[in-house]
Structure 1
Amino acid sequence: MATDDDETTPPDDEPLEPVVKEPYAGRFGRPGSPLNRRAPFMTGLLGGLGLLLAYGIFLGLRNAAGILVLIFIALFLAIGLNPAVVRLRSWGVPRGTAVAIVALSLVALIAGGIVALIPPLISQTTQLIENVPEYIRSLQRNETINELVQRYDILNRVSNALNAGTVGNAVGGVVGVGRMLAGTVFNLLAVLVLTIYFMASFDRIRETGYSLVPASRRVRVRLLTDEILTKVGAYMVGAISIAVLAGASTWFLAVILGLAYPFALAVVVAVTDLIPQIGATLGAIVVSLVGFASSLSDGIVCVVFFVIYQQIENYLIYPNVMRRSVKVSDVAAVVAALLGVALFGVVGALVAIPMVAAIQLIMREVVIPSQEAR
């Protein structure tokens, strides 16, 4: 006999229909269906927002380019100076003390260079100002110059040129020079402070970077990255050694020729020699000008010396040092330095050779084995 339960209960082999719940109807009515993300309007809206976001990121990076360059230089210096900190720690020195020793040594070198350069600059400028009246009197005693002054009415033209506009431009130029000097000092202090902070927290920054790598690849990434950081430190040691050699050679030359302020000239050459490709030429120009100011023969000797020394440094000393420290071939070192200067200026020149060393390591240990396994 059939009951009500038999009539309402579906057979076991028939699936139960899902219960569809009606949307909750609040005081403002039932919500509509969700928006179709593939609709043309939504596609265009999301695409436009993406373009605006990309443009905003571009503007932010462009406006912060100067600060980002300073951060990059400070990080590069911290990586290069970290081997010195590691060496001090291997001698039992605590990390904070080791960082302080390296930082104070760096500050002492910078201060020594400034102390060596400022007195000659002040004394030479003072001598020039004191000798200006004598120069004018000697010019006035020259009949040829007096004739030219009268013929071309130079005095009236100079007096007319010294008006309010030219004075204002001169003052503006002085203010611009002051701003440039203030900006340079600020950049140096910022790089120095950031370098100290990066050296103090170098291990923590490195471990944080390693923690972002998947655990299955973390060991290999750690080994490769540590080798790259070692090469950066070796490059810094090699570059400093070459700069010291150039400065010592300049000091001997200045002492032999009897040039004024030989130590200051040596500091100028050593500092500028840290800039690949163009730095040695800048230092040679400064020393040669000082030589010509001393005498014609001294200037010629300086020019000949630096022409010969730069050839020896570029094609003998620099490649050999970089081959032994960074293990980069001669051709790769020269090409990398040229491309770095052309693309990114001085910063590109500084990081070009370590970058080539890192690329060679990745090619040898990652790319080539992956291609051979296919």
Structure 2
Amino acid sequence: MKISNLISLTFIIIAIILFWSLKEIVIQIFASIILAMALCSLTGKIEKLLSIPRFLALTITITSLILLLIIFILIVVPQFTNEFQQLITDLPSAAREIWELLQSLVREFSTIIYGSNIDPKLEKGILEKVIFSMPDSATLANGVTDSLSKIVGLASNLGVGIIQLLFILSVSLMITVQPNSYREVFILLIPSFYRRRARSILIMCGSALTNWMFGVLISSSFVALLAAIGLYILGIKLVFANAIIAGLLNVIPNVGPTISTIFPMSIAFLDSPWKSVAVLGMYIIIQNIESYLITPSIMQKQVKLLPGLALTSQFIFAIIFGPIGLILALPLSVVLQVLIKEILIEDILESKSSYKLT
């Protein structure tokens, strides 16, 4: 092996080790870039619409977002908090009723198989093996409560979360103020013969991320609105909290919509089992509307993300980066797909002799 190749391999190994040790910071920086892209897009639209300097447009953007955040905290958060607390309180009761229904179904099923004249000893043995060997309703309710307490305990550790959030906000604001300067600093780290091409690829990545963010925002808003209308028609309690949860979890494909159905189905089961089934059917219809009507119509300019790549990226990024990796799996996949298409496929595998990198 040549000395140059050995040195290159050494640097690659060092870079991988360094990346792995700083993976939490890396994912936070990526989150900052996504937020900065959103701020830059809003600033650009305001600058173009009002024909004003960029700094003034940025000031208007940040001021407007702060005012919207204050309104959200004063009006939306208290109602959501109250309903969410009631939702958490009602979950053990819903779990208890579901478990009791399952136990009664098992008893009826054993009666159908063995008949009504079943030997008491045999019936006792079946119940002990099938039912009493399982946790009872009180145990299940306590288990749900303990799990929720652990989740609340994790969420109560706000110190680290606030520091990370401040770091993300600070970096995103610094990038938003001078986006071109930070991009050019990154370009300087790339070999000179490839800088022009790298600049165009970064612009493509930024455009793809911007389109993805606006698409997801509109899509999640539609999901929350449809969920609120459907839950209100069905007469389900805590409509506002469940609708907000459905909209927020819609950002996480596959996993998010599935989790969002647990809360309204549990609350609906307290009223009637058929309502729980109706809620499940309604959420399936909403997700089909979102997948086949809303998303295709509002994301025509978005990078067409392959479903297999999206699902694989969720699994891989969740393992590497944890929960925040699962949340940011799609934007990471959007960037990754652009890089693979432009660099690996077009520049390496299908390189044209007429194409010049410089």
Corresponding residue to 1:230 among 207, 224, 242 = 207
**Alignment partners' CA distance in 1, 2:333 and 2:86:** 39
Rate the CA distance shift 1:213–1:126 in 2: closer, same or farther, 3 A. closer
Alignment check: 8 A CA contact 1:257 1:298 kept: yes
Give runs of aligned pairs for residues 183-332 of structure 1, distance below 5 A.
Answer: 183=158, 185-186=161-162, 187-213=164-190, 218-322=195-299, 324-328=300-304, 332=305
Gaps of 5+ in 2: 98-127, 129-144, 319-325
Give runs of aligned pairs for residues 108-127 of structure 1, distance below 5 A.
Answer: 108=70, 111=73, 114-123=77-86
The CA deviation string for residues 321-344 of structure 1, in whole angstroms up to 9 with x for no partner, is 44x12142xxx4312211211211
Alignment check: 8 A CA contact 2:211 2:301 kept: yes
Rate the CA distance shift 1:200–1:285 in 2: closer, same or farther, 3 A. farther
Among the aligned pairs, what percent are the same residue? 19
Give runs of aligned pairs for residues 46-57 of structure 1, distance below 5 A.
Answer: none
The CA deviation string for residues 199-248 of structure 1, in whole angstroms up to 9 with x for no partner, is 23323212323444566654443333223211210111111111111111
Alignment check: 8 A CA contact 1:231 1:326 kept: yes
Alignment check: 8 A CA contact 2:257 2:287 kept: yes
**Alignment partners' CA distance in 1, 2:91 and 2:354:** 72
Kindly state the Cα deviation for residue 306 of structure 1 after the two structures are TM-superposed.
1.2
Kindly state the Cα deviation for residue 83 of structure 1 after the two structures are TM-superposed.
1.0
Kindly state the Cα deviation for residue 72 of structure 1 after the two structures are TM-superposed.
1.7
Kindly state the Cα deviation for residue 273 of structure 1 after the two structures are TM-superposed.
0.3
Alignment check: 8 A CA contact 2:228 2:239 kept: yes
Q: What residue in structure 2 maps to residue 355 of structure 1?
A: 336
Q: What residue in structure 2 maps to residue 161 of structure 1?
A: none
Alignment check: 8 A CA contact 2:83 2:240 kept: no
Rate the CA distance shift 1:230–1:248 in 2: closer, same or farther, 3 A. same
In the alignment, residue 285 of structure 1 is paired with which amino acid?
I
Alignment check: 8 A CA contact 1:242 1:317 kept: yes
**Alignment partners' CA distance in 1, 2:245 and 2:257:** 10
In the alignment, residue 97 of structure 1 is paired with which amino acid?
T
The CA deviation string for residues 301-357 of structure 1, in whole angstroms up to 9 with x for no partner, is 1101112222343345434544x12142xxx43122112112112132332134324
The CA deviation string for residues 16-59 of structure 1, in whole angstroms up to 9 with x for no partner, is xxxxxxxxxxxxxxxxxxxxxxxxxxx9xxx9xx97x9888766
The CA deviation string for residues 96-130 of structure 1, in whole angstroms up to 9 with x for no partner, is 4045136526745874664342111334567899x
In the alignment, residue 333 of structure 2 is paired with which amino acid?
A
Q: What residue in structure 1 maps to residue 156 of structure 2?
A: 181
- 1:337 matches 2:313: no
Q: What residue in structure 1 maps to residue 45 of structure 2?
A: 87
RMSD: 4.2
Kindly state the Cα deviation for residue 251 of structure 1 after the two structures are TM-superposed.
1.0
Q: What residue in structure 2 maps to residue 20 of structure 1?
A: none
**Alignment partners' CA distance in 1, 2:42 and 2:61:** 9
Alignment check: 8 A CA contact 2:37 2:206 kept: yes
SS at match of 1:325: coil
> How many residues of Structure 1 are paired with residues of Structure 2 in the alignment?
288
**Alignment partners' CA distance in 2, 1:123 and 1:181:** 18
**Alignment partners' CA distance in 2, 1:363 and 1:109:** 46
Rate the CA distance shift 1:255–1:333 in 2: closer, same or farther, 3 A. same
Give the structure-1-normalised TM-score.
0.62
Gaps of 5+ in 1: 1-42, 136-151, 153-169
